[in-house]
Amino acid sequence: MHTIGEAATLTGLTPKMIRYYESQALFAPHGRSAAGYRLYDEADLHALRFIRSARDLGFSLAQVAALTDLWRDRHRASAEVKRLALDHIEALEHKAAVLHSMAATLRALAEHCHGDERPDCPILEGLAANATAPSQPADHSRSSVR
């Protein structure tokens, strides 16, 4: 049996994150000491590593809960796991496309900035132009640089 500090070291998590995952009902340690301290066995460490691995891949807590339930259910259909993974891939690819578009917009603004002692700055002008535009979802696919 391991203390929370040892479990943290062995799983790459912090004690705070371990307690948080427990509070979110992602797992529960199998034991407590006579003084009431959490104690972790190898199955607990394995579960914590599973959770950390899923979080490292960007799964939300709700998704991790679903994956954890599926992982523990030996009678599950792998199709459910694959659907969760494919949905997450789609969300990651969308987020990557949005980030790429944002970087392209900022790159275009930066390319038009002289970066010298002059006060005029296309970066600030571009940001200010977007700040005064009507509130709507940002379209990062094109730059407002003129």
Q: State both tokens at 58.
A: 């960007």
Q: Find the mean pLDDT for residues 17-41.
A: 86
Q: How confident is the model at residue 96 (pLDDT cuts 50, 70, 90)?
A: very high
pLDDT of 17 above 90: yes
Lowest mean pLDDT among 1-10, 71-80, 109-118, 136-145: 136-145
- The answer regarding whether domain 4-72 maps to CATH 1.10.1660.10 reads yes
pLDDT over 90 percentage in the chain? 48
Q: Check residue 64 and give its pLDDT.
A: 94
Tell me where in the chain the CATH 1.10.1660.10 domain(s) lie: 4-72
Classify residue 1 as exposed, middle or buried by CB count within 10 Å of its CB (0-12, 13-18, 19+).
middle
Average pLDDT value over all residues in the chain:
86
Residue pair 139/122 in contact (Cβ under 8 Å)? The answer is no
Q: pTM for the full model?
A: 0.71
Q: Check residue 135 and give its pLDDT.
A: 62
Q: Which residue has the higher pLDDT, 66 or 126?
A: 66
Classify residue 29 as exposed, middle or buried by CB count within 10 Å of its CB (0-12, 13-18, 19+).
buried
